């Protein structure tokens, strides 16, 4: 099963490497990873997507907790968190196909951020699953290049502390 | 106080109460060695190889319960430390390694002796620092010691560029650490401990399965109190050897690959296993899915990540073993006071029965047997409380586990998790530095001796006398045993010979005393002399190359399916 982990780390050299090294060393697989600043200048947020059993997930969380630079590990449970991702895709767009592509883009609230003589670049922001659908729909037109940021997420404003984090506190 | 970065490192060590450190100088760490020359209360022991320095620091830490410290220069000096760092990681030994690094402007340019040692060691340290600013040094040193010895112990690395060592600093050692992400557990959960006590009280076949975490957690007194209160049998792992007195009536031996069959029976047929700072290592469990099938597990550990890692824990308790075992005994006492604790006498009788049924066996003969050497060492030191044993890795290590009786914690120092050949001699030198009053004996293999034997020079010249007993079976014996049993006796590159090198002559060349013994008749006299000498001595005990280590759980087999010595006329080993 796929899980999203949101990890707060001290913004120190090597902190990210320690996390990724832990995944490699313990044989855990990362599906996607996104890193960026948070509301605190000295703290970064790493959002990790992993596909594993519950038992492995608990191991990952506990092992990550032991890293000195890791401040907090939270699982973002579906329904209790908002998750977003950004997709840029360059699609072949000869003049006779443009209108069709633009119409498709509108359905997904995709923006055209660049336009060339025979290609255009879409930008889509949304839940990662939606990006995947969009990708499938434009694929027949010919995808020239594609980049995704990896998902980021936050617990919903209506939920302060996810249950999982509390449970881990007991174990610590 | 105004000083240089290099001085700040030494003043930090002094502030931490460090008495001894081990290392070898080189270009990138010259400023630190110059600071040593200018004066410090820390004694520096010059090793002959950085691996030796690292294992010495480990031996020091394991014998004393304090943090071991090792120094090395950049590049090859630092990479030579990798093995001891990995060893300390696997065996949870608190270690602070300080390495020199090339000057900051040269980092990343492939400069002479530049090596990304913080990168190389990421998977095997609790934490590490590449110190970029001299102002950080005191905080980093403080944090390094704090992290190495709190929570689950382990190694840390501080990499200091040469120009940072040379930079001026107004030194002040911090009182506290600022580590928001480092919060080791402080107390085991009271309700869980209560639950553990009631499981123990209701058990018919309880057992305490004790690992190195009990020694590291300084909880051996609490362990004994618990065991005696509930009359609970105790098995100790290789790393836990000595955590519980081995001459105690409740002692039930050592489980695992070369543990006696009766110990493996006791652990595998238990109905409640209380794991105390032990991690269900494959060398203990054998085939995991077949391990102790009828047992529920109470797992006590300072490291939450060990719980449920390999074996599900029915009652997890995360906390310092000292407090957890103490509270568990207190809960058990409450149950006993209301008559709810019945000592498992039938179970103890059953274990005693297995013990009679499956003793350790080997056949004595014309040729000197390795087990006889270890048994003789045991009888020569019986009743003494000032002996520390170290070992290499291989058959001799397993015989040392089987035939030595250690009654005190920190008296048996071996490489468990990593299985590092060559650990024994430097670890002995380090243990001697920690406990100058002790007689430190390394039971080594002939193969292991040749990996780190040069540290005899350190032992002789630094006035750290040790006794090395080489169980010289002319082979990389443990590998040869596997080739014999599982590879159709196709021996591939395991023969070392009895005579090359001549260990006694080599010892003499180092200024140590050398002895050679190849018969039972001479054995006791020679060992006695070597033990009493008070200077570094090497006893080359030329033993039967054909002797194999039994019993044994073959790789991948269930612990209960262990095989015994196939020799028919085996007689019981002397007691
Ligand atoms: C550094 C290292 N290299 C290789 C091994 C694999 N190995 C395990 S035991 C062993 C043989 C050890 O030989 P010796 O020291 O003579 O001990 P014996 O088994 O003969 O008692 C070897 C090569 C190891 N554990 N460590
Ligand atoms: Mg050998």
What tens digit of pLDDT does each residue of A63-117 get? 999 999 999 999 999 889 999 999 999 999 999 999 999 999 999 999 999 999 9
Give SS3 for B387. strand
* Confidence check: pLDDT of A27 > 90: no
Q: What is the third-level CATH fold of A2-75? A: Alpha-Beta Plaits (3.30.70)
Of A19-28, A160-169, B211-220, give the lowest mean pLDDT range: A160-169
CATH H superfamily, domain B361-550: Thiamin diphosphate (ThDP)-binding fold, Pyr/PP domains (3.40.50.970)
Quote the mean pLDDT of chain A: 91
pLDDT band, very low/low/confident/very high, at B245 (cuts 50, 70, 90) = very high
- What is the sign, positive or negative, of the torsion defined by CA atoms of B147, B149, B151, B156? positive
B186 touches A: beta carbon within 8 Å: no
Average pLDDT over residues B524-544: 98
A13 touches B: beta carbon within 8 Å: yes
- Cα distance between residue A47 and residue B324, in whole Å: 35
pLDDT the model gives residue A172: 41
| 8 A C-beta contact, residue B91 and residue B85 | no
Question: Taking Cα atoms as reference points, which of B497, B377, B392 lies closest to residue B448?
Answer: B392
Phi and psi (nearest 5°) for B559? Answer: -60, -35
CA B446 to ligand 1: nearest atom: 16
Phi and psi (nearest 5°) for B468? Answer: -105, 120
* Confidence check: pLDDT of B566 > 90: no
| 8 A C-beta contact, residue B278 and residue B240 | yes
Measured between beta carbons, which residues in chain A are less than 8 angstroms from residue B151? 66
Decide whether B2-170 matches B361-550 in CATH topology. yes
- Residue of chain B minimizing CA distance to A25: B123
Give SS3 for A150. coil
Nearest to A70 among B152, B181, B318 (CB): B181
- Cα distance between residue B520 and residue B562, in whole Å: 30
pLDDT band, very low/low/confident/very high, at B411 (cuts 50, 70, 90) = very high
Of B175-184, B307-316, B561-570, give the lowest mean pLDDT range: B561-570
Tokens of B101: 């690094």
pLDDT the model gives residue B404: 98
Q: How many CB pairs under 8 A join A and B?
A: 55
Average pLDDT over residues B372-389: 97
Q: Looking at the predicted complex, does its ipTM rise above 0.85?
A: yes
Q: What is the third-level CATH fold of A82-152? A: Alpha-Beta Plaits (3.30.70)
pLDDT band, very low/low/confident/very high, at B574 (cuts 50, 70, 90) = very low
Looking at domain B2-170, its CATH class is alpha beta
Tokens of A42: 């000295």
Measured between beta carbons, which residues in chain A are less than 8 angstroms from residue B182? 68
List chain B domain ranges. 2-170, 190-357, 361-550
Question: Taking Cα atoms as reference points, which of B462, B427, B388 lies closest to residue B43?
Answer: B462
Tokens of B280: 């269900």
Average pLDDT over residues B420-432: 98
List chain A domain ranges. 2-75, 82-152
**Tell me: the pLDDT tens digits for B259-307?**
999 999 999 999 999 999 999 999 999 999 999 999 999 999 999 999 9
**Tell me: the pLDDT tens digits for A29-45?**
899 999 999 999 999 99
- Beta-carbon separation of B130 and A67 below 8 A: no
Tokens of A162: 């996810």
A117 touches B: beta carbon within 8 Å: no
As beta bridge partners, residue B441 has B389, B467
- Residue of chain B minimizing CA distance to A56: B309
pLDDT the model gives residue A13: 87
Contacts 24+ apart (CB under 8 A), A130-139: A131/A85, A131/A87, A133/A108, A134/A87, A134/A89, A134/A108, A134/A110, A135/A87, A135/A89, A137/A104, A138/A89, A138/A91, A138/A101, A138/A104
Is the domain spanning B190-357 CATH 1.10.1060.10? The answer is: no
pLDDT the model gives residue B117: 98
Quote the mean pLDDT of chain B: 97
pLDDT the model gives residue A161: 55
């Amino acid at each position: 099963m796929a899980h999203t982990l949101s990890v707060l780390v001290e913004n120190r050299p090597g902190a990210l490497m320690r996390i990724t090294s832990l995944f490699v060393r313990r044989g855990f697989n990362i599906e996607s990873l996104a890193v960026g600043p948070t509301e605190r200048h000295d703290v970064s947020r790493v959002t990790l997507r992993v596909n594993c059993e519950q038992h492995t997930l608990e191991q990952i969380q506990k092992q990550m907790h032991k890293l000195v630079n890791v401040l907090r590990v939270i699982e973002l449970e579906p329904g209790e968190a908002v998750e977003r991702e950004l997709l840029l895709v360059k699609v072949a767009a000869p003049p006779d196909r443009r209108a069709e592509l633009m119409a498709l883009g509108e359905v997904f609230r995709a923006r055209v951020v660049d336009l060339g003589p025979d290609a255009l670049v879409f930008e889509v922001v949304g839940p990662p699953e939606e990006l995947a659908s969009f990708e499938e729909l434009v694929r027949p037109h010919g995808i020239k290049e594609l980049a995704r940021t990896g998902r980021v997420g936050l617990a919903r404003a209506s939920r302060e502390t996810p249950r999982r984090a509390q449970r881990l506190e007991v174990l610590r | 106080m105004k000083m240089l970065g290099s001085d700040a490192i030494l003043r930090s060590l002094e502030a931490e109460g460090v008495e001894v450190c081990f290392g070898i100088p080189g270009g990138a760490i010259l400023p630190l060695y110059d600071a040593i020359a200018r004066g410090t209360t820390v004694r520096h022991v010059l090793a002959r190889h950085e691996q030796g320095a690292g294992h010495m620091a480990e031996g020091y830490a394991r014998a004393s319960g304090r943090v071991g410290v090792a120094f090395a220069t950049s590049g090859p000096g630092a990479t030579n430390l990798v093995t001891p760092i990995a060893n300390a990681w696997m065996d949870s030994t608190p270690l602070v390694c300080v390495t020199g690094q090339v000057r900051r402007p040269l980092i990343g340019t492939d400069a002479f002796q530049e090596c990304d040692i913080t990168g190389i060691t990421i998977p095997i340290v609790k934490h590490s620092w590449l110190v970029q600013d001299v102002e950080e040094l005191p905080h980093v040193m403080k944090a390094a010691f704090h992290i190495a010895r709190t929570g689950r112990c382990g190694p840390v690395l501080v990499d200091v560029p040469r120009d940072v060592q040379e930079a001026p600093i107004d030194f002040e050692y911090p009182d506290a650490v600022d580590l928001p992400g480092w919060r080791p557990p402080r107390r085991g959960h009271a309700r869980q401990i209560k639950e553990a006590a009631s499981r123990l009280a209701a058990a018919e076949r309880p057992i305490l399965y004790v690992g190195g975490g009990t020694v590291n957690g300084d909880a051996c007194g609490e362990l004994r109190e618990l065991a005696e209160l509930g009359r609970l049998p105790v098995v100790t792992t290789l790393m836990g050897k000595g955590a519980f007195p081995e001459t105690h009536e409740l002692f039930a031996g050592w489980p695992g690959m070369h543990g006696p069959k009766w110990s493996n029976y006791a652990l595998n047929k238990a109905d409640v296993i209380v794991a105390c700072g032990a991690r269900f290592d494959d060398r203990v469990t054998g085939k995991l899915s077949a391990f102790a099938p009828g047992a529920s597990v109470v797992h006590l550990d300072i490291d939450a990540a060990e719980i449920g890692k390999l074996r599900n824990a029915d009652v997890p308790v995360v906390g310092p073993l000292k407090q957890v075992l103490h509270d568990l005994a207190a809960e058990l006492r409450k149950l006993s006071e209301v008559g709810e604790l019945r000592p498992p006498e039938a179970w103890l009788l059953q274990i005693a029965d297995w013990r009679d049924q499956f003793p350790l066996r080997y056949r004595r003969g014309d040729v000197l047997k390795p087990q006889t050497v270890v048994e003789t060492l045991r009888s020569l030191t019986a009743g003494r409380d000032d002996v520390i044993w170290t070992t290499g890795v291989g058959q001799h290590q397993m015989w040392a586990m089987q035939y030595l009786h250690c009654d005190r914690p920190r008296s048996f120092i071996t490489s468990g998790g990593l299985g590092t050949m060559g650990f024994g001699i430097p670890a002995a030198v380090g243990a001697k530095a920690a406990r100058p009053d002790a007689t430190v004996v390394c039971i080594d293999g002939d193969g292991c001796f040749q990996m780190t034997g040069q540290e005899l020079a350190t032992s002789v010249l630094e006035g750290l006398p040790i006794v090395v007993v080489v169980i010289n079976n002319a082979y990389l014996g443990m590998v040869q045993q596997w080739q014999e049993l599982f590879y159709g006796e196709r021996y591939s590159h395991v023969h070392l010979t009895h005579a090359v090198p001549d260990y006694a002559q080599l010892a003499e060349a180092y200024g140590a005393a050398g002895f050679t013994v190849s018969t039972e008749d001479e054995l006791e006299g020679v060992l006695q002399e070597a033990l009493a000498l008070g200077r570094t001595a090497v006893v080359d005990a030329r033993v039967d190359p054909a002797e194999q280590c039994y019993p044994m759980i073959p790789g991948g087999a269930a612990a209960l399916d262990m095989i015994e010595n196939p020799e028919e006329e085996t007689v019981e080993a002397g007691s």
